[in-house]
Amino acid sequence: MKKKLSILILVCLILTVGSQVSASPTEVVSVGADLTEAQQKQMLDFFGVTKDDVMMLTVTNAEVREYLKDIASEQQIGTKSISCAYVKSATKGSGIKVNTHNITWVTEEMYAGAMITAGIEDAEVIAAAPFNVTGTTALTGIMKAFEKATGKELSHDAKKIANEELVITGELGEDLGKDKANELVHKIKQQVIKQQVKNPDDIRQIIKKIATELNIELSDEEIDKILSLMEKISRLDLNVNKISQQLNKISTDIDKIKKTVEENKGLIQKILDVINSLFSWLRQIFSAA
């Protein structure tokens, strides 16, 4: 009886340990195919991992072009694959966290928004390069690494639309400012997905309403671009509840960023007030002299 009990306990322990191992996060690094070995080593060091620690993938310029052709300019796509991505699967419900390094055109929030459209959820991501790059090509590596890390295949259409969202948001950012453009696209997408809006006229009204709320003036061409993007997003077979949950987490992060910016503005204004007071005092002294 004792022997049987011991065997049963051992089996339970094995099952418990096995379940913990299978549930542990998986780390994947995608590297640009045109990096030298030294540059690849540089990026692995930056991510804090070695080749033995993670699964490694290579992303070519041809793969990037598959998603960005007819969407981005030749200058945005480039001729080489440089950007790298570190992706780690996170616990369910934790949302998406993104950090960047040497990425000049795409913001962390833009990546996060596009990742949600692609169907990515609950992941920790770092998009980086050994030197300054625009970052438009990094999304391909992120999506490829996420699929490897989770074993979940993302829809090809969703991946292409995610890239389109990234480019459109970036282009809007050149006129509106990156943060404002990201907030605009995010809020519109949130409404379209949550309310499951598919009618183009209704989507157009949402775009105009949110732009007005954010005090943003859009040209007819910009509205049409956003409308076309949102129509495509509305047709994707996305899990509304899951996507809404991820979007809500991004909204919270955006609000925190805005609050931090406003607080810093207040601090900067106080410093400027002190400096102005000092100069005013000095002027009075020299005038009296």
C-alpha dihedral over 170, 74, 234, 205, to 10 degrees? 50
Q: What pLDDT, in 10s, does the model give residues 26-40?
A: 899 999 999 999 999
Q: Closest Cα to residue 144, out of 271, 260, 55?
A: 55
pLDDT at position 177 is: 96
Residue 24 in this model has a pLDDT that exceeds 70: no
Answer whether 58's CB lies under 8 Å from 83's CB: no
pLDDT bracket for residue 101 (50, 70, 90): very high
Q: What pLDDT, in 10s, does the model give residues 187-201?
A: 999 999 989 999 999
Amino acid, single-letter form, for residue 8? L
Give the integer Cα–Cα distance in Å for 90 and 24.
Answer: 9
CA angle 168, 114, 72 (to 5 degrees): 35
Residue 241 in this model has a pLDDT that exceeds 80: no
Average pLDDT over residues 255-268: 46
What is Dmax (Cα atoms) for the chain?
104
Higher-confidence residue: 142 or 5? 142
> What does pLDDT average to over the chain?
83
Q: What pLDDT, in 10s, does the model give residues 118-170?
A: 999 999 999 999 999 999 989 999 999 999 999 999 999 999 999 999 999 99
Q: What pLDDT, in 10s, does the model give residues 36-90?
A: 999 999 999 999 999 998 999 999 999 999 999 889 988 888 899 999 999 999 9
In this prediction the pTM is 0.78
pLDDT at position 89 is: 92
Q: Please state, in angstroms and as integers, the Cα–Cα distance from residue 129 to each residue in 58, 78, 99, 124, 275, following that order.
A: 14, 14, 12, 17, 39
pLDDT at position 70 is: 87
pLDDT at position 7 is: 44
